[in-house]
Chains A and B, each alone.
Chain A
């Protein structure tokens, strides 16, 4: 009997926009072979502005999750798309991330990463693939839980900047703080990180995931995977 895959894409900015159409194309193609039911939920409280067009592709102005979900639904009729036009908050997190989900986290702040990682720690089965970048480099972390055990480590482990974030999630910011946010980003770095996230997804899906984090540097032309496995006793 065909299975079902529930995917959440949290953050539809530079990385999320790069990732979404390729993820959808792959899953639609796979669905034709497996009959697997695929539902993709896009989550973002931000609105697309024309000045984002250098790195982000939207066909109209409006909430990013809604606009992108509509575009994808037209392009990939075999899949189901849903939009949640909200930022992640403590109040909505348990509704956004549920047991068995596969979560692509493409946000630009550590506060949201910590919140989502902690939510995943509560679940018995979940896959969280989180990507972020600076100007020409970035990283992808893959947190897998199966059978109530960590297969790889949460985003906060070995990352004090995420465990104790100095930033705020967009939902916590005032308009003045949001106005100070945003900095030049490079489309190619967004693409590189999105690609690394999709590669990790493919490796996991095909049962060949051998790393828990991968670093990408587009100037150096390098990617460096590293293991992030729990040590004896860490799951107890």
Chain B
């Protein structure tokens, strides 16, 4: 997919914008967009949006709430969600600085 196509995919939908017949809704965390993606595979869309939305390779793909393989071809009107990983600890994912704190664990440790 070309850079121009990726930009087209990541453009936020403007209120009142007319839908075309090939539109698929894509969700990732708080982000959502609608684009002409019917006929493309889940893998195509993941690859196209991976950098723009920072989609984790671990993120499970759902189509209309059902887990699907990457090879599934999207149909017009479907909703594709890449399930964003659960929030864990305050750090930006994959950049975890080793902040030190004192130990208050009340359990015995090896």
For chain A, give the interface size range: 35 or more
Residue of B nearest to A155 (CB): B86
A164 to B97, CA, bound (A): 23
A139-B87 contact, Cβ under 8 Å, with A158-B67, A231-B66:
yes
Complex alpha-carbon distance, A116 and B69, angstroms: 29
Contacting pair A137 B62 (CB below 8 A): no
Cα(A174)–Cα(B85), bound, Å:
26
Q: Which of A16-24, A70-78, A218-226 contacts B (4 or more CB under 8 A)?
A: A218-226
* Whole-angstrom CA separation of A186 from B62 in the bound complex: 31
Are A49 and B101 interface neighbours, CB within 8 A?
yes
Given the complex of chains A and B, what is the CA–CA distance between A158 and B63 in angstroms? 12
Contact in complex: A220, B101 (CB < 8 Å): no
Tell whether A49 pairs with B89 under 8 Å between CB atoms, given A173-B109, A215-B30, A224-B30: no
Q: Counting CB contacts under 8 A, is A86 at the interface?
A: yes
A3 at the interface (CB under 8 A from B): no
Q: Does A175 contact B (CB under 8 A)?
A: yes
Q: Number of contacting residues on B, CB 8 A?
A: 37
Q: How many A-B residue pairs have CB under 8 A?
A: 135
Distance in angstroms between the alpha carbons of A78 and B93 in the assembled complex: 42
User: Is A151 close to B, CB under 8 A?
Assistant: no
Contact of B88 among A87, A132, A160, A215 (CB under 8 A): A132
Report the Cα distance A170→B86, complex, angstroms. Answer: 18
Complex-state Cα separation, A89 to B66, whole angstroms = 32
- Interface readout for A162-203 with B: 1 if CB under 8 Å, 0 if not? 100001001101110011111111100100010000000000
Give complex CA distance A134, B66 in Å.
26
Which of the listed residues B58, B66, B90, B99 has the most CB atoms from chain A within 10 Å of its own CB?
Answer: B90
Q: Quick one: which of B65, B103, B107 contacts A227, CB cutoff 8 A?
A: B65
The reply to whether A184 and B90 contact each other, CB–CB distance below 8 Å, is yes
Contacts of A173 in B (CB 8 A): 105, 109
Residues of A within 8 A of B66 (CB): 231
Partner of A141, one of B81, B86, B90, B101: B86
B interface residues (Cβ-Cβ under 8 A, vs A): 27, 29-32, 58, 60, 62, 65-67, 81, 83-93, 96-107, 109-110
Can you identify 15 A-B contacts, CB atoms within 8 angstroms?
Answer: A45-B107, A49-B102, A51-B101, A63-B106, A133-B90, A134-B90, A139-B87, A158-B62, A159-B60, A159-B85, A160-B58, A170-B105, A174-B109, A175-B105, A184-B99
Seed contacts A110-B86, A159-B60; 6 additional CB < 8 Å A-B pairs = A89-B107, A135-B90, A158-B67, A174-B109, A185-B89, A224-B27
Binding site for B on A (CB under 8 A): 14, 45-47, 49, 51, 63, 85-87, 89, 108-110, 113, 130-135, 137-139, 141, 155, 158-162, 167, 170-171, 173-175, 178-186, 189, 193, 215-217, 220, 222-224, 226-229, 231
CB-CB nearest 8 A-B residue pairs: A185-B90, A175-B103, A132-B87, A138-B87, A222-B30, A47-B104, A183-B91, A133-B87
